[in-house]
Amino acid sequence: MQANFIRQIAQSNSYDFQINASAIQLYQRFLHYLWRHKIPLLAGFSTIFFLAFLQVIIPQITRYVIDVVIPTKRFDLLPWLGLCIAAISLMIGGLNFTRTYMMSLVGQKTIYDIRNELYQHLQQFSLSYFENQRTGTLPTLMNLLLTSPRVIAP
């Protein structure tokens, strides 16, 4: 069955071929690759929650200054509250960097895994397979291998 499927791909026009994999199957396969790097992924997601929490604090400090410090004329608190805002801003910057770095790390490692798996799969083919195929067949086959979970070439 699989060899006939590959022959059908090789003999047909690549524009006529439709991939029957559903979006859910593609997402499940993609999440399988993502889950291999769960520690940086979870670290990236956790920084998002800390960022959301810290970004709420600065307006609350500003509200406190306007509602409490200025009416009671306690201007000696202003430098401390300014330092708090500066420290929170530095933490937000550090967390933004960490989030960007972790998410980029997960993305690059996932792409690396997909490419390595595809390369290892192509290495299993015999040389006669590559000699007998047209030039455009291999990119079409690689596209199918990346998008369809059921296609396994000979």
The alpha-carbon radius of gyration of the chain (Å, integer) is 27
Instruction: State residue 10's pLDDT score.
Output: 59
pTM beyond 0.85, yes or no:
no
Q: What value does the mean pLDDT take over residues 127-149?
A: 69
Tell me the pLDDT tens digit for each residue of 45-99.
999 999 999 999 999 999 999 999 999 999 999 999 999 999 999 999 999 999 9
Amino acid letter, 1? M
Sign of CA dihedral 35, 40, 44, 47: positive
Name the residue among 40, 41, 81, 74 with its Cα closest to residue 58.
81
CB 130 within 8 A of CB 3: no
Q: How confident is the model over 2-27, as pLDDT tens digits?
A: 556 666 655 665 555 455 667 788 78
Q: Over range 122-148, report the average pLDDT.
A: 72
